[in-house]
Chain A
Amino acid sequence: MRFDNVFQLGIKELRGLVRDPMLLVLIVYSFTLAVYAGAKALPETLNRAAIAIVDEDHSPVSTRIGMAFTAPYFSTPRLISQYEMDRRMDAGLDTFALDIPPDFQRDLLARKSPTIQLNIDATRISQAFNGGGYVEQIVSAEIAEFLARTRNAQTAPIELALRARFNPELKKSWFGAIDEIITSITMLSIILTGAALIREREHGTIEHLLVMPVTPLEIMVSKVWSMGAVVLIASALSIAFVVKGWLAVTIDGSLALFLVGAALQLFATTSMGIFLATVAGSMPQFGLLLIMILLPLQTLSGSMTPRESMPQFVQDIMLAAPNTHFVMLAQAILFRGAGLEAVWPQLAALAVIGSVFFVIALRRFRAFLA
């Protein structure tokens, strides 16, 4: 392999990219506005959850409970009738509906242990879990305070002081922004290398290269480095200016270490792009393959939902995907400020996966050119 050839061919790839303004616009978009929107759109944990209250008691305590649901966790509760409750929940207008029965306060004071019903739309599974807990806490705090004033009940002296580390306010904007960058890194690197290879074949230029003293390895490495470099630089700029600057997210960890991880991730995904391009016969086929690869990578790598909650076999299979390790690495470095001593297993895994992908893609690529 001659490094000069690899370098020259890579420069050629970069020049080609510069000549496609639409593609440049899309790259810039996916590392700026898409990241910004991704960060800002996600609700901060439980955000503005739609709650309705059926107050059949109309007592001080029921009013008090109603007042306790405030922004940003909840939208201002709607006071509705029992009849409306079913209809509104069916239409998906409310995620929670709290039904306070008649004579609730009287029964409470009479120590009859009355029952409040909390209806949760369990199809909205993300809010259903956490929101239920929140509502429970709020209701119990309000009732406890109410009772504390009316009778001098003793509160439990054993307290659980819970603190969230690394992200004390549990802000999702961190998470959303980084998640978006990871998605862009994967998507772009596969599309840029794969589609560029298909285009070269459709335009006959790949054949032209082969009559020159250039080996398939050099052609492939040149595509890997050039497209990888574009994406790497774009993500570094995105973190520096969009995430740190525009979104004002503080990042504790080492950006350099993250970029090393990103480079290894790109090594794997660009190889994947070449592989897909050799498998796909045409651009539409490539598009479909791309979707079939991107969606699982995006949803199952642990960036959207925690890995722990996936079935064991999905977790095991996804260990073969570079994204899984990259997500772990990115979260450890950027969120928790982890250093090399913590993330070396992920770096090693990425290097191994990348090398395997590269070798497989190179073999396919050689067969494809012959």
Chain B
Amino acid sequence: MSTKAAAEAPAAAGSVVHLEGVGLSYGKTRALEAITLDLPSGCMVGMIGPDGVGKSSLLALIAGARAIQQGRIHVLGGDMASSRHRRNVCPDIAYMPQGLGKNLYPTLSVFENIDFFGRLFGHDKAERSRRIADLLRDTGLTPFADRPAAKLSGGMKQKVGLCCALIHDPELLILDEPTTGVDPLSRRQFWELIASIRASRPGMSVIVSTAYMEEAAQFDVLIAMNAGRVLATGTPAELKQQTGADTLDDAFIRLLPDAERGNHTNVVIPPRSEDHDEIAIEADHLTRRFNGFVAVDDVSFRIRKGEIFGFLGSNGCGKTTTMKMLTGLLPVSEGTARLFGKPIDAGDMSVRRRIGYMSQGFSLYSELTVAQNLDLHARLFELPADTIAARIDEMIARFDLADVVDALPDALPLGLRQRLSLAVAMIHAPDILILDEPTSGVDPVARDRFWQILAELSRKDNVTIFVSTHFMNEAERCDRVSLMHAGKVLTSDTPASIVAARGTATLEQAFIACLEEAIADTAEPAGQPAVAAPPPASANSTPARRRGAAFNPTRMLAYSRRETLELRRDPIRATLAILGSVLLLFVLGYGISMDVENLTFAVLDRDDSAISRDYSLQIAGSRYFTERPPITDYADLDRRMRAGEIGLAIELPPGFGRDVSRGRHVEIGAWVDGATPTRAETLRSYAQAIHATWLVPKGRELYGEAAIAGAYQLQLRYRYNPDVISVVAMAPGIIPLLLIMIPAVLAALAVVREKELGSIVNFYVTPVTRLEFLLGTQLPYVVLAFGNFLLLVGFALAVFRVPFTGSFPTYALAALLYVTATTGMGLVISAFMNSQIAALFGTVLITLIPAIQYSGLIDPVSSLQGLGALIGRIYPTTYFVTISRGTFSKALALDTLHNDLLVLAIMVPILVIAGAMLLKKQAR
């Protein structure tokens, strides 16, 4: 069947993609089963089907973003299982993943985003600026070139995504649901753009998946999919003919197996009975401002009880903000909002109990199962405990969730998830439902079922429904709709009246006409269609490509540049990284001190003679000790030592003075608090030293010269730090500590962030190699960390006045190697982690403890044992601590330190290569 379709497809010139027996599983879930297809080249191929049937997986496989598990995939004449072919062919494929602006970098401007892709494909500067100028002009984005991607509307994000995909003149363009969640006007502009590009580049093949059947009707070839299998392929006309349906929507529904189609019926909403005139929701001149920007401008409407009220409008026009104000999530800047006649008060719990809210995008707990989510919400809404089970069962039956009660939401297709969201929003039987784009991205069958439920709720249970949507057939089902644009309501009436007032054939046309009129009125040329623009000038130029190069510095620098830009756009991160480390050096340098002073001691003097008092005075006079009130008895000694009040207790026995004078053997009792071993050691040696000092003159007085133990002299030479000042010893040790934690965390998060937010897909589908990606990401952090190093050294010299005696070039070289190694450690960790929390926690765990405890900062590595000693020996900090102390305090240079430097130099490539090997070039 597939070959037949390909042969009959218009403009078919051989096949661009050939699939044979392709299968894919996620864990136990089977996503694709035995797909065999031939996609004709030079065509627009559409994939249609419900959510979760494997469309996205199949597109990702074709684009090379996901590793092949089973079967063979040939794209552009080569096997996609071969990494060599993928590298060769990826400059010819462009892939735009699902999700608005998913592969864009939100803080980068439109120009910078496109420029980044241009660099990845090796265009030189002149080439890039020409191509970007062309693309921006063609898409009408020229006025927005400097706007950050995060601040674009959904439709504009998709256009930028398209520019990024087109910069390298691909032969195959793969678009995964490019218009989901985009308003009708932007959607129309998007397809016009694609059409004009295809006109100028007739050889280009396009594969698109979509949930909009009216879009699919325009494509050359359609592939209908369900449950990981292909149902049918053919032109839209063929599919309609095959099934005997009038519309593609119907054709698709008829293609579904009977079990799936189940009880699908066309949604029929009975007319509203007019006996409810109670106003459920009332907005009166609602206005909301964000920092001078007016998001919602003087919006008023009234919704009667039991009414289905639709909210239409382009992305970012204020629909969500209005809904949030009605739920009390956002305070109102001006105007009033009333529910059942009562003004909304964000703190009023009784109002919240009457509302069910579904936010845009899935916002239930993905870590809880379907049943657990329902249960949690039932309890939070304080349903009586004895009715909860029954209510949950009722919801499960009504929303048809029985098969998935124990599944996690992430494992469910979007349509089911949205049903779950609605079930959760309905669990407490609210009077009002506020639904923010509940069906965005949901396939037609699931959407019809969803609306069937809404109809029942409205007509049978008299629930007021306030819903926003981009689907015109849904808007037509509403009792009344409002069109919003740029914070204002353009028109508000029944769908039929709006169409009649505009004199158009369909609601969509009426809507677009309204919008265009509104846009013409405002100064901002938002989303000017670019149909009239000349075809891209780049169409016929030969792209400058360096194919197959194993390592291309341009691509690496493209990543560096992008990372640097992102760092610069997040000044808090850079400032924290730099100022934070200086602050920490200051705190730790002064704080960690080994000079043990002000040790507390107390005396239990049972003798109370002149000699015993002299002994206590001797200790009290030492600068190391501070005397506490005398101890009264053993119980007192015990209590005070337990409470940590005294560190040293001295007991002078009865008759001490008398015995000393008579030369009898006397034993002084002394106890030190052993709880803190280091301090106990110090206490012990100080006590002994003071005892010995006391003995010398006493002994001379009492026994003459014979008692003096001065048979020899021991000369102590404290080298490198003659005054034994802690800060001199500590500052050179803290610098290595600070240069491991912060760079490692930043580098690890840089990569894991891309994974979590989805832009990692750019790495999967562009010619950038693993090494280029890692080194490119690492470079800015190495530079940042090295700058940090210079600042820390400057601070140590200027503020702590730590003398620097050795070779600075040696130290700087070692620092450069060290920060390369520490950022490399971050990259290695990032290979194992998929969530930022785990990456953060993991990095802190493997840097904080080893660097502080096993790297010679406090105890020399040579004195460690067991696991600690092993870690200490392989940890880069150990070597850098030696170099840091050597150059700071010991006046050393390269000749003595070359071995430590060598170890650091060896670690750098090991870490980088390990990071590159662990990183996957495709999703698995």
Contacts and interface: CB of A to CB of B under 8 A. Distances in A.
Q: Tell whether A pairs with B.
A: yes
A162 B686 CA distance: 11
8 nearest A-B residue pairs (beta carbon): A41-B868, A133-B685, A167-B674, A335-B675, A164-B674, A122-B721, A342-B643, A16-B367
B712 A114 contact: yes
A14 to B, nearest CB: 10
Given A211-B357, A292-B580, A122 B837 contact: no
Given A118-B716, A211-B327, A288 B745 contact: yes
Given A288-B576, A328-B644, A282 B863 contact: no
B201 interface: no
A261 to B, nearest CB: 14
A49 B681 CA distance: 14
A5 B592 contact: no
Residue from B367, B660, B664, B717 with most neighbouring chain A CB atoms (10 Å): B367
A183 B837 contact: no
11 contacts: A45-B678, A47-B865, A95-B860, A104-B712, A161-B667, A161-B669, A282-B573, A285-B576, A299-B592, A306-B596, A314-B587
Nearest to A300: B591
A25 to B, nearest CB: 9
Given A289-B576, A298-B852, A126 B845 contact: no
Contact of B688 (A92, A93, A162): A162
Contacts of A115: 712-715
A187 B675 CA distance: 23
Interface stretch (A202-210, A231-239, A264-272, A350-358): A202-210
Nearest to B580: A292
Interface string A181-209: 00100010001000110010001110111
Residue from A92, A299, A300 with most neighbouring chain B CB atoms (10 Å): A92
B591 A296 contact: yes
Interface of A: 2, 4-5, 8-9, 11-12, 15-16, 18-20, 22-23, 26, 29-30, 33-34, 36-38, 40-50, 75, 87, 89-93, 95, 104, 108, 111, 113-130, 132-134, 136-137, 139-140, 143-144, 147, 153-154, 156-168, 170-172, 174-175, 180, 183, 187, 191, 195-196, 199, 203-205, 207-215, 281-292, 294-296, 298-300, 304-306, 308-311, 314, 318, 328, 331-332, 335-339, 341-343, 370
A87 B380 CA distance: 71
A30 B677 contact: no
Given A5-B380, A161-B670, A309-B594, A26 B584 contact: no
A296 B587 contact: yes
A203 B890 contact: no
A214 B676 CA distance: 47
B290 to A, nearest CB: 13
A48 B848 contact: no
For the residues of A in contact with B, the DSSP-based class is helix
B377 interface: yes
A40 B867 contact: yes
B595 A309 contact: yes
A337 B674 CA distance: 12
Interface string B585-618: 0011011111111111000000000000000000
A283 B862 contact: no
A90 B741 contact: no
B232 to A, nearest CB: 37
B729 interface: yes
Interface string B696-709: 00110001001101
Contacts of B665: 157, 159
B88 interface: no
Contacts of B584: 291-292, 295-296
B838 A20 contact: yes
A126 B677 contact: no
Interface stretch (B27-35, B348-356, B522-530, B551-559): B348-356
B916 to A, nearest CB: 22
Interface in B651-708: 660, 663-682, 684-685, 687-689, 691, 695, 698-699, 703, 706-707
B711 A143 contact: yes
A43 B864 contact: yes
A203 B835 CA distance: 13
A314 B590 contact: yes
Contacts of B713: 113-116
Interface stretch (B61-69, B76-84, B390-398, B881-889): B881-889
Interface in B724-745: 724, 726, 728-730, 732-733, 737, 741-742, 745
A47 to B, nearest CB: 5
Residue from B347, B380, B715, B726 with most neighbouring chain A CB atoms (10 Å): B380
Contacts of A161: 667-670
B368 to A, nearest CB: 6
Given A26-B842, A160-B668, A338-B642, A37 B349 contact: no
A308 B595 CA distance: 9
B366 to A, nearest CB: 7
B877 to A, nearest CB: 14
A175 B718 contact: no
Contacts of B587: 295-296, 300, 314
B372 interface: yes
Contacts of A4: 379, 382
B715 A154 contact: no
Given A92-B882, A204-B363, A294-B848, A140 B714 contact: yes
B896 A90 contact: yes
Contacts of B714: 115-116, 118, 136, 139-140
Given A12-B376, A213-B349, A154 B643 contact: no
Residue from B352, B361, B644 with most neighbouring chain A CB atoms (10 Å): B644
B301 interface: no
Contacts of B676: 175, 306, 331, 335
Contacts of B691: 160
B718 A122 contact: yes
A98 to B, nearest CB: 9
A40 B868 CA distance: 7
B688 A160 contact: yes
A125 B730 contact: yes
A308 B707 CA distance: 36
B859 interface: yes
Contacts of B570: 282, 284-285
A367 to B, nearest CB: 12
A21 B211 CA distance: 35
B837 A191 contact: yes
A331 B675 contact: yes
A26 B838 contact: yes
A180 B868 CA distance: 13
A130 B678 contact: yes
Nearest to B872: A41
B352 A370 contact: no
A165 B674 contact: yes
Contacts of A108: 711-712
A10 B79 CA distance: 51
A48 B862 contact: yes
Given A30-B845, A162-B688, A335-B675, A23 B838 contact: yes
Nearest to B858: A126
A299 B531 CA distance: 65
A175 B678 CA distance: 10
Given A75-B862, A90-B896, A338-B642, A159 B359 contact: no
Contact of B749 (A26, A30, A123, A284): A284
A205 B844 CA distance: 27
A294 B844 CA distance: 10
Contacts of A139: 714
